[in-house]
Amino acid sequence: MTVADESSVDDFQPQPAEPDPGRKRSWRKLVRRPQIAFGLIVCFIWLVVILTVHWWAPYDPYESVGDRLQPPNGDFWFGTDALGRDVFTRVLYGARQSLPIAVAVIASAVLIGSVLGAAAGFLGGWVDRVVMRLADVTMAFPAILLAMAVAAALGPGLKNGFIAMVIVWWPIYARLLRAQVIAVKQREHIESAVSIGATQGRILRKHVLPLSFTGVLVNATMDLGQVVLLTASLSFLGLGALPPAPEWGAMITEGAKYFYQWWIAVAPGVAMVTVVLAFNFLGDGLRDALDVKAATR
């Protein structure tokens, strides 16, 4: 091989990929949206609380630290409950009960629903019929009633509540991803991949799924707040977290017994409102940002 040939080979050596400045600009533009910024800030604050509350919480959430049913004051910012426990501390520790289980429920529902929905939409035939009939049967019942029935059958507790909520939520993502997969697999680039001999597995992984997950991402973000509410609802009905666990729904149940001691129920209720609003704002912002048609208009 001549020197010229060696230099030509060197010219065609792969070069390391450089960072895409356009992608960085798009992420910065995404974060600058007021809805997304608000949602991310609130979620970050609660994440810090979950990870660090055991280091700086003023009191133990399970121990009596003052007189019972004290109103909010300088020592107890959200007052005390019927057992003399600090409500502020219990609200902070309640985030460690409600938020992780919400993330776990949505992650499990997305995983199960995505696998079944992608198989139903891509393969069709009897697979599609079986998966969709299972989804139809599950979605025929109101979500709260089905979750209550499953949780009551399995017994109270957050673990059984988690199973009940996954059963409620997976059909939503199965139907959503199935519709997306059916729409994407009819595009021309899928036909091109088939014509060059790509396997079905490669077509699904490389060409169909990456274009089908936008709706799933947006829906999952907004559903996180709904799962927080459903978790609290199950605990409120005695089918979720068991006393003395500092869970927001269980705290509201206790507050309902003491109507004039409003702070017992208001404090966890306000915490839930901030979480649900943050996830809803984040989901709305992502939907607007990722909606190509809206952006074009």
Instruction: Give the pLDDT band of residue 63 (cuts 50, 70, 90).
Output: very high
Read off the pLDDT of residues 117-161 as tens digits, 9 standing for 90 and up. 999 988 888 999 999 999 999 999 888 899 999 998 998 888 899
Of 41-55, 160-174, 180-194, 283-297, minimum mean pLDDT range: 283-297
Residue 18 within any structural domain of the chain: no
| pLDDT value, residue 230 | 92
- When pLDDT is cut at 50, 70 and 90, the band that residue 209 belongs to is confident
CB 256 within 8 A of CB 243: no
Is residue 19 predicted with pLDDT exceeding 50?
no
Residue-number span of the structural domain to which 171 is assigned: 42-48+90-296
Share of the chain above pLDDT 90, in %: 49
Burial environment of residue 268 by CB neighbours within 10 A (0 to 12, 13 to 18, 19 or more): buried
pLDDT band at residue 60 using 50, 70 and 90 as cut-offs: very high
Q: Does 84 map to a domain? A: no
φ, ψ at 149 (rounded to 5°): -65, -45
Least confident segment among 81-90, 157-166, 181-190, 250-259: 181-190
Q: Give domain status of residue 13, yes or no.
A: no
Residue 68 has pLDDT above 80, yes or no: yes
* CATH code where residue 102 lies: 1.10.3720.10
Q: How far is the CA of 243 from the CAs of 4, 61, 158, 182, 259, in angstroms?
A: 80, 12, 11, 47, 19
Separate counts of helices (H) and strands (E) for the chain? 13, 0
11 has a pLDDT exceeding 70: no
- Cα distances (Å, whole numbers) of residue 172 to 140, 183, 197, 277: 12, 17, 33, 21
Q: What is the mean pLDDT of residues 193-219?
A: 76
CA–CA separation, 85 vs 93, rounded Å? 12
pLDDT, average across residues 58-73: 92
- Tell me: pLDDT of 87 over 90: yes
Cα–Cα distance measured from residue 183 to residue 75, given in angstroms and rounded to the nearest whole number: 59
CA distance 233 to 227: 9
How many domains is the chain partitioned into structurally?
1
In a domain, 205, yes or no: yes
Q: Of all helices (H) and strands (E), which one includes residue 82?
A: none
The answer to the question of residue 182 being in a domain is yes
Q: Residue 22 domain-assigned?
A: no
32 in any annotated domain: no
Against a cut of 0.85, is the pTM above it?
no
Q: What is the pLDDT of residues 20-39, one digit of tens each?
A: 454 555 556 666 678 888 89
Q: Is the residue at 66 inside a domain?
A: no
The answer to whether 235 touches 249, Cβ cutoff 8 Å, is yes
